[in-house]
Amino acid sequence: MTWYLSYIVVYFVFMFAMGFYFFTKVKTSDAYLIAGWNVGFWPIVGTIISTNCGAAVFIGWVGMGFQVGLSGFFKFALPASIFGLILIVFFAKPLRRQRLYTIADLFSERFGGSAGLLPSILSAIIYSVPTTALQMVGMSTVFQLTLGMDAMSGITLSFVLILGFTILGGLPATIITDAIQAVILIVGITILFIASLFYGGGIGQILANTPPEYLSPAGPNGIGDVLLFALSVGPFYLIWQSTWQRIFASRTEQIAQGAGIAGIVLVMIIAVLPYSIGLIAKTYVPADIRPDLVFSYVTTDLLPPALGGIVLVGLLAALMTGADSFILQGSSNLTRDIYYRLLNPRASEKSLMFMSRFTVVIISALAVLVAYKVTDIITLYQWALRLSATIMVFPFLAVMFWKRATKAGALTSMTLAGLATLSWPYLGITLNQTVFGFTVSLISLVAVSLATKHSSNEQVRAVYWDDLDSAADNHDERTLARSQSLSG
């Protein structure tokens, strides 16, 4: 216990020292919520790694690897990374040029203020709250394993630590500490992988003892199961606000794209390790163990505390970086999209700063209530992910590519897609839930947009094409200026 306690104390002393440092530096809501749109390359790389490799890496993906083998990588991590890369490669530059805060900002700018309300609620309440609750429950598990706390006390301590750090430093502290925590995370998961190779008897023995279907991308349940799961997961990462925040926070368009690509490619490489750990664990842990307990069994029952403590600090780093990112995501939505855009457009900077920290408290308090009361947070999280994707992916693509999309079309699409996704379990249809939601979203968006006119408060534009034209015009102007200078 001494090793574990020492590691945990040192880690949180460092985190709160950074929090207090940034508390003295952060003076505006722009700095607090979006780091002043001024973050450099390596901090963006680090924060993308940390945010993408949260508790899922240590607990969820290890458990999935134990349950379905390497196909888990192709079901979740790979499609999430591919769609994340699509977002970065094709949209990072035009999005960064908009100088916005949230995905709801984009909807509000294009269709008018109220159009961002549903995306804001989805992001702040439906997604941010359960995902933050998951981090609190995960952190509570660490405190139970290392300090012998009961679950409720562990959740309470997690809430206090997460809220305290987040309310102090905002996004600047989150991004800088994320970059450092990415290193801790990678070290921790690498130690666990090497230990698993050792306990499994080496690569040759592991391959000999593992059923072939667990080594196949199709897995024990077949390729259809993999593809359907990938479809239900991947598209969400086009509209995942945590990545959008990193795009907006980047100092330049080039950093937004370059650091984003580097971060997600590294995430894809790192993601192979937890699935491999889970797969290898099948050869040496009790066969009847619950998948979500594989990580804790290997870390605390097999590893010596001096090494296990490092792995657990890696898990704490993943949990902290996930929690503060999701809280700030929700805080941005409540502060900018609802309070500033809809309730108080003339709010002073002092009011915005107060609301930024007050909404951090709101999201954190709702999350701890979910952590206390809801027994199946993972299912709630999966619903939030699926619902967000079916509601927002096609309207987002319409904002970027289709000038003919109308406010009525977008709002109808989001409403009907949400209703379709929620009602799917009661309809008795065989079509996959996510496919059904996407189908309703696309058909209603196109049909209603073609049948209606643009409202008076819309900016009638396709952001992606307009942005390309603007960039081309700027390039031509710079070229003309240089040629005139040379001829002069």
Q: What average pLDDT does this structure show over 291-311?
A: 84
Average pLDDT, the chain: 88
DSSP labels, 46-101: HHHHHHHTSHIIIIIHHHHHHHHTTHHIIIIIHHHHHHHHHIIIIIHHHHHHT--S
3-state secondary structure labels for all residues of 232-271: HHHHHHHCCHHHHHHHHHECCHHHHHHHHHHHHHHHHHHH
- Give the model confidence (pLDDT) of 142-194 as tens digits: 898 888 899 899 999 999 999 999 998 888 888 888 888 888 888 888 998 99
Better-predicted residue by pLDDT, 470 or 474: 470
Task: Look at residue 218 in the predicted model and tell me its pLDDT.
Answer: 92
How many other C-beta atoms lie within 10 A of the C-beta of residue 314?
27
* Planar angle of CA 46, 51, 53, nearest 5 degrees: 95
Q: Which of 90, 51, 99 is nearest to 257 (CA)?
A: 90
For the cut 60, the answer to whether the pLDDT of residue 313 exceeds it is yes
Does some domain include residue 129? yes
Does some domain include residue 454? no
Query: How many domains does the chain contain in total?
Result: 1
Does some domain include residue 415? no
For the cut 60, the answer to whether the pLDDT of residue 482 exceeds it is no
- Give the model confidence (pLDDT) of 212-255 as tens digits: 999 999 988 899 889 988 988 899 999 998 899 999 999 999 99
Give the confidence band of 321 by pLDDT, cuts at 50, 70, 90.
confident
Q: Domain of 343: which CATH number?
A: 1.20.1730.10
For the cut 50, the answer to whether the pLDDT of residue 480 exceeds it is no
Range of the domain at 250: 2-389
- Give the model confidence (pLDDT) of 358-403 as tens digits: 999 999 999 999 999 877 766 777 888 889 999 999 999 999 999 9
For the cut 50, the answer to whether the pLDDT of residue 452 exceeds it is yes
For the cut 50, the answer to whether the pLDDT of residue 487 exceeds it is no
Does some domain include residue 109? yes
Q: Give this prediction's pTM.
A: 0.88
- Give the model confidence (pLDDT) of 293-302 as tens digits: 888 888 888 8
